[in-house]
Amino acid sequence: MEFSGRSALITGASRGIGRAIAVEFSSAGAELALLGRDRAALEETRAACLEVHPTGKIEIVVADVTQPDASAKAVETALERFGRLDFAIANAGQAVDGLILRLRHADVDRLIDVNLKSAMYLAEVAAKPMLRQRGGSIVFVSSIVALVGNAGQSIYAATKAGLLGLTKSLAKELGSRGVRVNAVAPGYIETAMTTAMPEAAKAQYLNTIPLGRPGRPQDVSGVVRFLCSDAAAYVTGQTLVVDGGLVTY
């Protein structure tokens, strides 16, 4: 699962799962374009990547993923700097919890923009060079709530579920040219997003996880690496659950 000579574009790369994916791919030898709004945090991600791959090529693109031209700018940067684009990981995400009767319309619009539309914008522009290359991999970072739902997270769950439909549809659209599209559905992962959860909610999750611990961002990044690698050359249109056994089917 080595990525020397290949390049990756990662959205939401400034912290958490996005940063872990960037470091994972850098350790595999990939050249990276990191997209996010916080330059200082992206610079921290770049530094973490250079720790594992001191000679790595890493470009930072500061932009708002909810704007269609943000992903286009990042893809253009990757192509100019690296000459190709092999992997696109749509990791940018946001959560606003609340019962449906109390949600503000502005929050609904924001979650749709960040969690779903930004992924569509990325896929639209990343697919073009991949189709020309007759190869590439797109991965959407969804959530376990997309599969099972969660009270108080109806809009978040809906946007993350939308990514799963997008995954299946694009896998069928792009597969004939060698472009694979998959998703990961993380469970309870220790990130800034879950740190803000009430302690009672954290305890409830931990008591129902068979592996007995919360997930780490690196638990997700390794699965994303697999999905982009040649080891998953015959895997497309799938959602891999990374939740420590929290949900079983």
Q: How many domains are there within the chain? A: 1
Place 126 in a pLDDT band, splitting at 50, 70 and 90. Answer: very high
Instruction: List, in sequence order, every beta strand (DSSP E) within the chain.
Output: 7-11, 31-36, 58-62, 87-90, 136-141, 179-186, 239-242
Residue 19 lies in a domain: yes
Residue type, 186: P
Q: Helix (H, G, I), strand (E, B), or coil: what is residue 196?
A: coil
Active-site residue (options: 121, 156, 205, 249): 156
Residue 23 lies in a domain: yes
234 part of the active site: no
Q: What is the CATH number of the domain that holds 81?
A: 3.40.50.720
Helical residues (DSSP H) of 153-198, grouped into ranges: 154-174, 192-195
Tell me the residue range of the domain where 18 lies.
7-241
Residue 249 lies in a domain: no
Q: Is the dihedral of CA 74, 76, 80, 84 positive or negative?
A: positive
Which tens digit of pLDDT belongs to each residue from 132-189? 999 999 999 999 999 999 898 999 999 999 999 999 999 999 999 999 999 999 999 9
Per DSSP, 229 falls in state S
Residue 231 lies in a domain: yes
Angle between helix 39-52 and 16-27 (nearest 10): 30
User: Which structure tokens are listed for 155?
Assistant: 């809009």
